[in-house]
Structure 1
Amino acid sequence: MFKGSYVALVTPMDEQGNVDYQDLEACIEFHVENKTDGIVSVGTTGESATLPFKEHVDVVKSTVDIVAGRIPVIAGSGANSTSEAVFLTEQMEALGVDGFLSVVPYYNKPQQAGMVAHFEAVADATSKPVLLYNVPGRTVADMLPATVAQLAKHPNIVGLKDATGDIQRLKQTQALVPDDFVLLSGDDGSSCEFLEAGGHGVISVTANIVPKAMAEMCKSALNNDFEACRRIDASIEKLHHALFIEPNPVMPKWALYKMQIMKSAMLRLPMVLPELASKKVLEDILIEYGLTK
């Protein structure tokens, strides 16, 4: 369940800042054609923080409809208010999603016991599988391995997206959770190492731009061909770093715009287009990799 390369999909927007559903379809078809294993819709990269509830649900529904069962769709349903996270989860339960990704509540810095209560409430609100998401670089609060292990006892909580970039943290978690508990990297730069250490896949920002490479990297690792995994990772290493020189999803949106997969790189305020120097760095890499001319 939920193994391989899952793209943390951007939410395309037009010049007026409205969701561009035509470009959303173009992005999804790009992933289906390039063998992405699954899609995460309206997570952090999908600008969940600035999409109102109705729009959030509409984007997920459209994603499910466009995918039409060809690959799994995981819906982002995180919030820093437990009642809001539960509400979002309940609203999307019947849309045909294959599961939910729920982030550690941000800003309010819950205790570990608060995280347990939060995620159990979310998992109780659905019959679908739930992936936990730990990204302390954004949320400030850090979900510890012992907390993950406690939550893994819930029948609906099936895995973790770990964006710490800390392989020792992965090993600590592995020692505490069941063998079938899914462990996915949320840090592209260390994802190859994560896979070599026994991770099951990645929820990737880089996959927005090079979906085939990320899918092949994960497939190689899952087949224990770590030499191929490392070779593919090295071939896209510059992209891993360039996509984060400004806060995500600024740079992946700019890349997709330059690749002509999206007509606009527009973001929702308070996010804005990248600085000229950042654009130049990324555009040079896109040319080097043969993704643009």
Structure 2
Amino acid sequence: MSRTSPTRREPATRWLAGTIADIPTPFDRSGGLDISALTRLCARQIEAGASAILVCEAAGEASTLTAAEREAVIRAAVAAACNRVFVIAGAGSNSTLQAVQNTRQAAAAGADAVMSVVPYYNRPTAEGIYAHFRAVGDATALPLILHDCPSRTGRTLPDEILIRLARWAQFGGLRDAAGDVARVVRLRSLVPPGFRLLAGDDAAAVPFAAAGGDGWFSLVANVAPHLCSAVLTACQCGRWPAGRRLHRRLLPLIELFDRDAPAALKYALSLQGLAAADVRLPLTELDPAAKAAVARAVAQIGTAPSRSVARPSHPLL
């Protein structure tokens, strides 16, 4: 790919749509990786009809994983996917050199795309953010998904920088956790048609869809994949009352995840027998009151939604 001028957008990220689970990294009682549990979590998303899965990102406690563990997680996800869904690997860092190394490692481990977050803690300038992402792009041929999460990074990805990056075919989409739903409307006409705009968290799923978003990256989809799929399907069909009603069933759990993720997410999965609740320091497990709240929220979700919410043929899948 030429790096001296913008290139025509390739169809590599046509699959970047719908509900994509941000999968946690399960640990066993000794603190090591639980690859069997990770495989179960990936398989659950595949069976639910997801187009992609995301590992080694916010829910995956990526900052506590060693390089060897990151590689093992990505390889396990790729093996579980078995070419049935696309595997996105989180590869961000506040060090450009480390982000480049993470990105190359993800490619070598078989990932189909990488997600790279705005550098955190350093508080770079807008031009620094642009140079950081271009350096990461120069290090790989994989599609790159940008992650804007100012609550964690201390910096917002400026619109003008996003628009400049989106001109390059390699930058395929945005995970937007900035909290400005109007941004979707603002950006849609300013980025190439193939550039995907996805909500970065569960609470924004319905507003983002109403504004023209392509889907969302989700924590709660790990717990209720079919219900999350039904929310988005209802929205895509223009059945907004149904979409809002289904989304409200998820809100108590979403609020708990927003407050205590990924510990609350892992505890919910432990209640379903899918993974242990263990997290790594500096994170700790939930206290008894928080565990009781998560248990109530999981119980309130109930069974999968009725099949009467028909799934349309998505033009991107």
TM-score, length basis structure 1: 0.94
- Deviation readout 1:53-72 (Å, 9 max, x if unpaired): 12111100111011101111
Query: Which runs of structure 2 are paired with 1:221-236 in the superposition (5 Å)?
Result: 221-236=235-250
Q: CA deviation at 1:176?
A: 2.2
Query: Which runs of structure 2 are paired with 1:197-208 in the superposition (5 Å)?
Result: 197-208=211-222
Query: 1:188 is paired with a residue of what secondary structure?
Result: coil
> Higher mean Cα deviation, 23-32 or 191-200?
23-32
Task: Determine if the alignment matches structure 1 residue 283 to structure 2 residue 283.
Answer: no
Tell me, in whole angstroms, the C-alpha distance in 2 between the residues paired with 1:58 and 1:168. 39
Q: Is the 8 A contact 1:120 1:154 kept in 2?
A: no
Q: Which amino acid aligns with 1:282?
A: V
Tell me, in whole angstroms, the C-alpha distance in 1 between the residues paired with 2:238 and 2:52. 21
Tell me, in whole angstroms, the C-alpha distance in 2 between the residues paired with 1:160 and 1:49. 21
Q: Which amino acid aligns with 2:274?
A: I
| Stretches of structure 2 lacking an aligned partner (at least 5 in a row) | 1-13, 304-317
Task: Determine if the alignment matches structure 1 residue 249 to structure 2 residue 262.
Answer: yes
Q: Which amino acid aligns with 1:76?
A: G
Tell me, in whole angstroms, the C-alpha distance in 1 between the residues paired with 2:86 and 2:60. 17
Q: Which residue of 1 aligns with 2:38?
A: 24
1:239 to 249, 253, 257: 253
Q: CA deviation at 1:224?
A: 3.6
Q: Is the 8 A contact 1:39 1:73 kept in 2?
A: yes
- Deviation readout 1:9-64 (Å, 9 max, x if unpaired): 00000112111011111111222222233200111110111101121111001110
Task: Determine if the alignment matches structure 1 residue 107 to structure 2 residue 121.
Answer: yes
Query: 2:258 is paired with a residue of what secondary structure?
Result: coil
Q: Is the 8 A contact 1:5 1:201 kept in 2?
A: yes
Q: Which amino acid aligns with 1:99?
A: A
2:191 to 154, 162, 177: 177
Q: CA deviation at 1:125?
A: 1.2
2:138 to 120, 124, 137: 124
Q: Is the 8 A contact 2:182 2:211 kept in 1?
A: no
Q: Which residue of 1 aligns with 2:65?
A: 51
Query: 1:243 is paired with a residue of what secondary structure?
Result: helix
Q: CA deviation at 1:243?
A: 1.6
- Deviation readout 1:254-289 (Å, 9 max, x if unpaired): 100111111x21111111101222111111112222
Tell me, in whole angstroms, the C-alpha distance in 1 between the residues paired with 2:201 and 2:189. 20
2:281 to 256, 259, 269: 269
TM-score, length basis structure 2: 0.87
Task: Determine if the alignment matches structure 1 residue 211 to structure 2 residue 243.
Answer: no
Q: Is the 8 A contact 2:106 2:114 kept in 1?
A: no
Q: Is the 8 A contact 1:164 1:187 kept in 2?
A: no
Query: 1:271 is paired with a residue of what secondary structure?
Result: coil
Query: 1:253 is paired with a residue of what secondary structure?
Result: helix
| Stretches of structure 1 lacking an aligned partner (at least 5 in a row) | none
- Deviation readout 1:80-100 (Å, 9 max, x if unpaired): 100111111112213332211
Q: Percent identity of the aligned residues?
A: 33
- Deviation readout 1:117-136 (Å, 9 max, x if unpaired): 01111111111110000000
